[in-house]
Every structure is written in structure tokens, then in C-alpha cells.
Amino acid sequence: MLIVLLVVLAGIFIFSLGLLLRWSPRKPRPFADANGKILAGSVSEKIRVDINGLPQGMFVKGKDETNPVLLFLHGGPGMPEYFLAHIYPTGLENHFTVCWWERHGVGLSYRPDILPETMTVEQEISDTLEVTSYLRERFHKEKVCLLAHSGGSFIGIQAAARAPHLYYAYVGMSQMSYQLESERLAYEYMLRQFTASGKARMARKLEAAPVSMTALLPAAYNALRDEAMHSLGIGTTHAMRSVVSGIFLPVMKTQEYTFRERLNIWRGKAFAQRLMWDKIVATDLRKQVTRLDLPVYFLHGLYDYTVSYTLAKSYFEQLQAPLKGFYTFERSAHSPLFEEPEKALRILQQDVLAGMNRLADAE
């Protein structure tokens, strides 16, 4: 009976996969007006661009190419977020030309022959600056806006510090500061919550993998981390309780990827995590980046323990910059842009874009 059930399930899976592949356009649809006519001056594409000698993939979306350009650095270290914009529309493309770049070694930019030794922070910073140069040249912009999320903020803030002249503004969403300390705070919070709610099994697993400030994160903690955070509403979004239903299935249903590209998202995530996570966790950005010579804005969810809200607020207060703004999202965890898009877009329009225009006028 079990064998028959397995055969039936396998058949359903293969049939569903075939339908998914058949229906998938494998590229983004163009922007169109109410009559179905493609909007003049709009852009909606999936491309690969030579960045520092390697082809790297990105989606470029915008309803008007004359709008300011926004480069989005996804988190991870290896988890592209273009799929999230389909579940939680941001409205960014109405006001910006948005580049959803999938960074070196991950997502559209993953290849099995990428050398592990190239997966470094320095490579990521250099690639960020190269992608920025590509966007500036292609869209005839003197500068772009840099929006970096979570693990992307670890790279983004260093790129902005190195080349502030390339950017109108730096926006850090769930901005990292010292991730080892953030993980310790998350560990202590989760252990308290699971103990108080009587979830003894999860509490025991955490107790067996303690996080301290004197060592790298235990492998057992890393393996448990995502499940534990999402079950408590402190992960990707405050409402998301399952990595499978909230991330895995939406990625696999995103029709603008080929099936191989969907698989490569997971291959790249594991690849980047293995090679870069420990370095990111161990680096204290509070000591490494103390000043930015451009406007800086932090967007952070109140429920976020994936990257500590408290540490980000403290880092913001000590960070020197000519113009700063810190914004608390009261209903969000780790992804304010996707959880409270109206508020995020209002900030980007009224504060970030307005600041960019003031700077342009002053120059």
C-alpha cells in the first residue's frame, strides 16, 4: 500500500512539474496600459551582465526609464528576494527603475564551476560597485540609490562607505551591525519564548546549541535557526510561520525563473552560506564603518530578531552621516519593504527621493 501511495505521489509531482514548466513564461512580462499596449519607456527584463569577468543575473523593472535608479541588494548571504515582490508588491517600479541583482554565486548568478575562493566580502563589494557603474552608464545617471537588506546590508554599507560619490543615498533595511551579538540576543529571546510557552522540545534543542560571544555559531544552532525564528514570527515576515510555505514553495512557483534557475537559488544559497556566513557573523561593522559621506536611512521591523532591531538602532545613533533617518515599522519583522510596503514607499518618496532632489539641486 505504501509503495502504491509513493508511486501516486510521484506521478502527481511529475505531472504538476510539467504543468508548471509549461505555464512558466521564464521571463518578466512587460508593463502595459489598460489597453494592453506596452508602456513607452518602460523596462521589464531578466538579463545577465558581465561583472568583473563573470556573467551575473538580474531583473530590471520600471515603468519609466527616466525615473531614478534603485539597486536592491538581497539578503542571505545567498537568498535572492525578487520572488517576494510577487507575493508582497512593493510599488517600487512606479517611482524607480529597480535592479533586483542576484549576487555573485547565487540565484541567477550561480554556476557550479564558481571558485570557492572568489566568495569573499571584497569580491561582493567590488561587484556591487561594478553593477552600480553598469546601471549608471545604461540609464545615464550620475548616481543611483542603494537599498540593501539584511545580509545585503553587510555588503551595501561597505560599498557605500568606499564609493559614496556613486550613490544619492544608502538605505539599510534590517541593517546588520555585529551579527554575532544579534544571534546571541535572538538565541536568548527564543529560548525564553519556547520555555515560557511550554515548547520543551524546541527549548531543549536550543539549550544543546548555545550561542556565545566567544565562538562561532554552533552548527546545530544554524540548522535550527530559521525554523525557530519563523515559528515565533521574528523571521522573514511577522506573519510567516513556515519556511516551506513562505519561501520554498513561492520560489518554486515564481514563473519568471526556469526550473533550473529555481533549483540554482537553493544551490547558491547553500554555497554562499557555507563560505560566507561565518565571516559575516564575526565582523563588527560598528568598528569597520563609522561614517558615510552620503544620506543614510535605516528601515527596521520592531519584531525583527533575525537582525537585531536594538543593535541596528544603536549603530544608527553612532554612525556619522550628513543626513540620517531611522524608521520603525511597528507591524514588521525582518522585511519592512514587503510587510508594510505603503509606509516604506512613502519614506522612499518623501524622504529619500526628496533628499536626492535637494542634493541634485545643490550640485
Domains identified in the chain and CATH numbers: 43-178+255-362 (3.40.50.1820), 180-246 (no CATH)
pLDDT on residue 355: 73
Give the cell for residue 310.
536594538
pLDDT digits (tens, 9 = 90+) for 62-113: 999 999 999 999 998 899 999 999 999 999 999 999 999 999 999 999 999 9
pLDDT mean across residues, the chain:
91
pLDDT at 288 over 50: yes
Q: What are the CA-CA distances from residue 221 to residues 117, 173, 199, 225, 226 (Å)?
A: 25, 24, 17, 6, 9
Closest CA to 114 of 275, 247, 258, 240: 275
CB 183 within 8 Å of CB 213: no
pTM for this entry: 0.91
Percent of the chain having pLDDT more than 70?
Answer: 91
Given pLDDT bands bounded at 50, 70 and 90, which one contains residue 184? Answer: very high
pLDDT at 289 over 70: yes
Distance (Å, whole) CA 348 – CA 344: 6
Distance (Å, whole) CA 39 – CA 289: 42
Distance (Å, whole) CA 143 – CA 133: 9
Q: What are the CA-CA distances from residue 325 to residues 21, 139, 152, 297, 317 (Å)?
A: 44, 28, 19, 5, 10
Given pLDDT bands bounded at 50, 70 and 90, which one contains residue 362? Answer: low
pLDDT at 4 over 90: no
pLDDT at 16 over 60: no
Hunting for cell 544608502 — which residue is that? 170
Closest CA to 128 of 92, 94, 154: 154
pLDDT on residue 318: 97
pLDDT on residue 215: 84
pLDDT on residue 361: 58
Per DSSP, the chain holds a count of helices (H) and strands (E) of 15, 8
| 98: phi then psi, degrees, rounded to nearest 5 | -100, 130
Distance (Å, whole) CA 198 – CA 123: 45
Say which amino acid occupies 51: I
- What is the mean pLDDT of the segment spanning 16-23? 48
pLDDT digits (tens, 9 = 90+) for 278-287: 999 999 999 9
Q: What are the CA-CA distances from residue 296 to residues 37, 104, 232, 272, 318 (Å)?
A: 38, 25, 30, 27, 12
| Higher-pLDDT residue of 361, 332 | 332
Judged by phi (left if over 0) then psi (alpha if -120 to 50, else beta), residue 28 lies in beta
**DSSP for residue 205:** H
CB 107 within 8 Å of CB 265: yes
